Structure 1
Amino acid sequence: MRVVAAMSGGVDSAVAAARMLDAGHEVVGVHLALAQSAATLRESARGCCTIEDAGDARRVADRLGIPFYVWDMAERFKADVVDDFAAEYAAGRTPNPCLRCNEKIKFSALLDKALALGFDAVATGHYAQVVEVPDPAGRQGVRRELHRAVDMAKDQSYVLGVLTDGQLARAFFPLGDTTKPQIRLEARERGFAVAKKPDSHDICFIADGDTRGWLGARLGQRPGPIVDHEGQVLGEHGGAHGYTVGQRRGLGLKVPPADGSKRYVVATDTRSNTVVVGPEELLGVDVIEGDHLRWCGPAPTGEVRVGAQIRAHGQEHPATARVDGEHRLTVHLDERIRGVAPGQSVVLYDGTRVVGSSTISGSGRRA
């Protein structure tokens, strides 16, 4: 099979490419140039997709003896991930750019280009597993399912919950059955210089980790009130787009609570440019509504028992999900959870299997 190995320049994608080669595939390494200021070197462990990373990926490809190319997708990445990220915050939502990158870049733009050039599949260094099971419909013999990785501390099935059945059929995740320490050991044994390279983390295009500062530079400062749930003004903010539900730090409230309790952001309204804060108990919700449904296999019908996860490395919560047509999802959680914000993604699981995902459009409480 002819396979494009997406090589970020890190240790995970390096070992993934090596394992695909060991499995007998014809492998070509591809580094995605996503940063528009590509000459910038990595300033910390947060950043990625720099000239330094491209060089690291090339050296691994040379050691493996495989062809290597850099594909410039900076313009597509800016439009589909970076600009989308800013627009979502401007609308009062809290997006996950990693899900959007997997949906729009790695398993859309990259996969589409690979298929157009005659390749059969794309392999990445994500920690997840693709499992082949008998097709109950009997049409294809087997079908592919997306499952959690063996290493739960590194499991990335959440950010892959946007993949469709067709994309899964063309995807390989060679690291899903291995822990991260084992991957670093394997990289060292293979002689890869990236064996000790630190992982990138947080938001790759905000290298210093200052999301509020990044948003302020692009969306501008819009001072407005911070109020409690009864409307009393407690302070001022520089723009409602810089806050998210569940946030406690950096509020700068001028009026302390009478009972000394902690206050959290419970809602943001970008139309009125208002941030609402309140006590912790106001954060709890047990109903989640979603749109932009994506199914990693057959779409469920009616009500189904699932595990619901709303953060990349968050807890899975027992729930009942109901699919209403092609565009609406309602999730009833068994217990209330905190910090659910519009724009986040809820990924549904059946055991270790990823059922699919939805973008959260609202949340509330059952009577």
Structure 2
Amino acid sequence: MSITRPTVDDIRAAAKAIEGAVIRTPIHHCRTLSEIIGTDLWLKFENLQFTAAYKERGALNKLLQLSAEERARGVVAASAGNHAQAVAYHGRRLGIPVTIVMPESTPTIKVTQTEGHGATVVLFGERFDDAYAHARELEREKGYVFVHPFDDPAIAAGAGTIGLEMLEEVPELDVLVVPIGGGGLISGIATAAKAIKPDIEIVGIEAELYPSMKNVVEGGHGKIGGDTLAEGIAVKEPGMMTRAIIADLVDRIDLVSEKDIEHAVALLVGIEKTVVEGAGAAGVAALLANPERYKGKKVGTILCGGNIDTHLLANVLVRELVRCGRIARLRIHAQDRPGALAAITRKFYECGVNIIETNHHRIFTRLPAKDTIIEVECEARDAEAIDGLVRRLEEAGFHVDRAELD
């Protein structure tokens, strides 16, 4: 069975079609991250789209290709994330009725945001696969046009406009590092970039917990599943069109760990002052994790989305402070007698370390009945201050255990 693929001419046509309705996002050279990685890094800020993700490009390109009769029938999509908002937003702009099927477990905020763009939201099933199957049923029963999140030439062509823009503005790029979920983004970008600059290197990035495209393209057998910060690229079954394009045009696929994704999200907030979701930070995560692969090259990557729950973002930022040693949780063994806590807190004061929270553990310990564990969560200006505190406590006769994240 032949598979229709987008061409570079399709991508150029998409660029003209969506011009003015989708933001031409900036691409900036990142001096500090370039120095950290040892490369010449350029970031494409797709998190600055109105719905905070690149998905608008493909969704709009697809909707614009519908006939008047198809527009009147309306469209349906299955998504709990960026694709839903993109289809809903541009569907309302074009006067197209939109139905979005989401799993019943979808957070209320995502349902509300999608409804806020004018879509009818149907909650169905426990998993995305259930929602997807129901959306295809509605397509058959109601006559809706199904808008696939990635395995569609028009969707991939819209995404490919990012590649055109990046090479128009920075034609000297040697490598493009692109996150992979279902594969629509990298399929479009690779098609555009290889047509313009055949020797450019295209590297795909998947979350370590979801190596689905790497498995089908490279013949791997990586286990798929788990809770990932990069839920936007947590796809169990990649597209048929996209896997064919990736097999032909993508030079390799690398995997990134959860720790590296968290680190990238935190650094982008701290250094670039921009909020990026886990999937959107996957490219930067790969660069930080394996800088030797990119040393001396001009590299471009895409911050493809910025929709991250604020509470989750707060957790990521605090965990980064733990990893870099500025926040610590110390378990201090002490005799349960008057003055013990005062002796301990005196050391914190002398070392300039701030106490956030303390807890006494007298019952559930293996220590003698006269002893206690004082658990202290603390913060300092740098890791050296906390290291110095631990030394001072141990010199004073206290045994100290330090909680670790990894």
User: Greater share of helix residues, 1 or 2?
Assistant: 2
TM-score in terms of structure 2 length: 0.28
Q: Rg larger in 1 or in 2?
A: 2
User: Greater share of strand residues, 1 or 2?
Assistant: 1
